[in-house]
A = this chain, B = another copy of it.
Amino acid sequence: MTIYEVARRAGVSIATVSRAMRDSDLVTAETRARVRAAAQELDFTPSRLGRSLAEGQHAANGIVFPDLVGPYYAEVVLGYEEVAAELGRSVLILATHGRRDAAAQVLDLANRVDGMVIMGRTVGDDVVERIAATGPPLVLLARDPVSTVDTIRTDNERSARELAEHLLAHGHRRFAFLGDPDDSPDVAGRYAGFAAGLRAAGVPVPAPVRCAFNLDAGREAASGLLRRRTRPQAVVCANDEVALGVHTAATEAGLSIPDDLAITGWDDVMAAGFAGLTTVRQPMRELGATAARWLHDRITEPSRDRTPVRRQVLPTQLTVRRSCGPHTGR
On A, residues with C-beta under 8 Å from B are 1, 43, 45, 47-50, 52-53, 58, 60, 67-69, 71, 74-75, 77-78, 81-82, 85, 90-95, 97, 105, 107-109, 111-112, 134, 215, 241, 244, 247, 269-271, 273-275
Complex CA–CA separation, A71 to B69 (angstroms): 8
Chain A binding surface SS class: helix
Cβ-defined contact, B94 with A92, below 8 A:
no
Least CB distance from A37 to B in Å reads 18
Complex CA–CA separation, A45 to B43 (angstroms): 35
- Considering the complex, give the chain B residue whose CB is closest to the CB of A214: B270
Cβ-defined contact, B47 with A49, below 8 A:
no
Complex CA–CA separation, A1 to B134 (angstroms): 10
Cβ-defined contact, B107 with A45, below 8 A:
yes
Complex CA–CA separation, A92 to B61 (angstroms): 10
Tell me how many chains of this kind the complex includes.
2
Given contacts A85-B94, A90-B94, contact A111 B271 (CB under 8 A): no
Least CB distance from A256 to B in Å reads 16
Cβ-defined contact, B90 with A108, below 8 A:
yes
Complex CA–CA separation, A60 to B52 (angstroms): 15
- Show 21 A/B contacts (Cβ-Cβ < 8 Å), sorted by A: A47-B111, A48-B112, A49-B49, A49-B52, A49-B53, A68-B68, A68-B77, A71-B74, A77-B93, A82-B95, A85-B95, A90-B108, A90-B109, A90-B112, A91-B92, A91-B94, A241-B270, A244-B274, A247-B274, A269-B271, A271-B271
